[in-house]
Amino acid sequence: MAHRPVPFTGTTRHAVILAAGESKRTRPLTSHRPKPLIPLLGRPLLAHILDELVGMIDHATLVTGYRADDIHNAFGSSYRGIALHYVLQTDVNGTAGALRAVGALDEPFFLLYGDNLIAHDDLVGVCSSLPCLAGLRVEDARSFGVLQIVDGHVRSIWEKPDHPPPDALANPGIYHLDADSFAALEQIQPSPRGEYELTDLIGLLAAQRPVGYHICSGFWVPIGTPWEALSAAQFLLARRAAWRSQIDPQAQLDPGVQISGWVQIGRARVGAGSRIIGPVVIGDDCVIGAGCRVETSCLEPGAHVDDGARVQDSVIGAGAHVGAGSRVESSWLDDLASVAPMAHLPVQHFSELRPTAAMAGLLSRTQLCTRGVILSQGVHVTGAVDAGRVV
């Protein structure tokens, strides 16, 4: 059965989501789209974040910057009953600078980043006090801000300590704040890199009153690289494994097609003798040839997989093409990318990687450390490519 979220009985009805950055680290997936619009199972990343807020908030303020019009055009003025308001951050000067761009709010609000998948239960959790933020248990906290806790409250945040304590709680960027935060914002000084940091805000608030914390019990999936985007897609597929399958009445399934596990199939065609092993999403206008095998993957609308090809643990973007007899594993083909017939995108396990995501046990370390190839929009591959490459 699907997880039943913790009921929300709080009074906070507003969320601010920071979504202004250009995100060069996620290129090529963000070379032609803003990060909040990276497609995950046929829907934008930002939609999955907002889904966890449905039923909790009435309105959300989206702080945008890079390709702001694309985000506005994709979401409009509302999403599933949540009214959307847009603020343009013209001076990209840090996370606290992004919150300052909002102006001021006279009500409690959630503050979130637009590039992390977060759990509804942890949003409920940070409502235990005000102000409050989440703390995340991670294997290696050296790449995080770490909560400094004194007498049961957060005193400050250490930024990327060289020697964090063994019980360190990382800062995953889930905040519950109120109007006093805006006065404190004006006291923040630029960091050594010239930016205004939200971590400094917590220290200023803690000097005025107790700041609570909630230890995350759900999931937390950051999307800071193309590989983390692939892991996010794999995670979202795994979450759906126990759901009821959905096959569009207009889908064409030729004789001998075998389907097992959870699937979502739109107005697509699946050729004779192909095997679809869920969890799998196949979007509208996809064409899968005869004798194919598609396993634990997502095919965005208009993707083509030709006869005898195999796709596993991968994302095949809108209009992308996998040639006959090819093998694609643990890879992401961005929109309109293609792989020649009989090609094999190599895959490798990188044991030295230290994933930071909290996957609620749905993905193994092996899955998180296995990488094939990231193909940029429109790239065509005919020959050999090294595993772990972005092309």
Residue 133 belongs to some domain of the structure = yes
Q: Is the pLDDT of residue 320 over 60?
A: yes
**Closest by Cα among 159, 160, 153 to 206:** 153
Assign 160 a pLDDT band (cuts: 50, 70, 90). confident
Specify whether 127 is located in the same domain as 219: yes
Cα 168 from Cα 145, distance rounded (Å): 10
Domain with 66 in it: 14-224
Assign 305 a pLDDT band (cuts: 50, 70, 90). very high
Do strands 145-150 and 252-253 pair parallel, antiparallel, or not at all (unpaired)? Answer: unpaired
Residue type, position 58, single letter: D
Query: Which pTM was predicted?
Result: 0.94
Specify whether 206 is located in the same domain as 261: no
Specify whether 101 is located in the same domain as 198: yes
pLDDT at position 10 is: 77
Average pLDDT of every residue of the chain: 93
Give the containing element (helix H, strand E) for 240. none
Specify whether 210 is located in the same domain as 285: no
DSSP-based three-state secondary structure for 282: strand
Specify whether 220 is located in the same domain as 244: no
Residue 9 belongs to some domain of the structure = no
Specify whether 276 is located in the same domain as 203: no
The mean pLDDT value for 314-333 works out to 97
pLDDT at position 372 is: 95
Specify whether 201 is located in the same domain as 246: no
The mean pLDDT value for 111-134 works out to 96
Specify whether 138 is located in the same domain as 279: no
pLDDT at position 93 is: 86
Q: Is the pLDDT of residue 390 over 90?
A: no
Last residue of a domain, one of 224, 246, 277: 224
Assign 260 a pLDDT band (cuts: 50, 70, 90). very high
Instruction: Kindly state the tokens that stand for 382.
Output: 């005919």
The mean pLDDT value for 146-167 works out to 91
Specify whether 214 is located in the same domain as 257: no
Specify whether 220 is located in the same domain as 238: no
Assign 4 a pLDDT band (cuts: 50, 70, 90). low
The tally of CA atoms less than 13 A away on the side-chain side of residue 286 is 30
Assign 1 a pLDDT band (cuts: 50, 70, 90). very low
Residue 7 belongs to some domain of the structure = no
Count of structural domains within the chain: 2
Q: Specify the range with the lowest mean pLDDT, choosing from 50-54, 95-99, 328-332, 335-339.
A: 95-99
Specify whether 24 is located in the same domain as 60: yes
CATH of residue 317: 2.160.10.10
The mean pLDDT value for 15-30 works out to 94
Place of tokens 């995080």: 144
Residue 62 belongs to some domain of the structure = yes
Q: Is the pLDDT of residue 384 over 80?
A: no
CATH of residue 187: 3.90.550.10
Identify any residues that bridge with 112 across adjacent strands, giving them in sequence order.
Answer: 17, 174
Tell me the percentage of the chain whose pLDDT exceeds 90. 80
**DSSP H stretches of helix in the chain:** 45-51, 68-75, 95-100, 120-125, 180-185, 198-206, 226-239, 365-368
Q: Is the pLDDT of residue 391 over 50?
A: yes
Please indicate whether residue 242 or residue 46 has the higher confidence score (pLDDT).
46
Q: Is the pLDDT of residue 232 over 50?
A: yes
Could you tell me if 134 and 125 are in contact, meaning their C-beta atoms sit under 8 angstroms apart? yes
Specify whether 383 is located in the same domain as 291: yes
Residue 340 belongs to some domain of the structure = yes
- List Cα–Cα distances, 157 to 79, 146, 197, 210, 390, in angstroms: 33, 5, 11, 14, 34
Maximum separation of any 2 CA atoms in the chain, in Å: 69
pLDDT at position 91 is: 85
Place of tokens 């869920």: 278
Last residue of a domain, one of 158, 193, 224: 224
Assign 162 a pLDDT band (cuts: 50, 70, 90). confident
Handedness of CA 24, 227, 134, 39 (dihedral sign): positive
Please indicate whether residue 356 or residue 374 has the higher confidence score (pLDDT).
374
Residue 6 belongs to some domain of the structure = no
Residue 46 belongs to some domain of the structure = yes
Last residue of a domain, one of 164, 197, 224: 224
Could you tell me if 46 and 52 are in contact, meaning their C-beta atoms sit under 8 angstroms apart? no
Cα 116 from Cα 358, distance rounded (Å): 11
Residue 241 belongs to some domain of the structure = yes
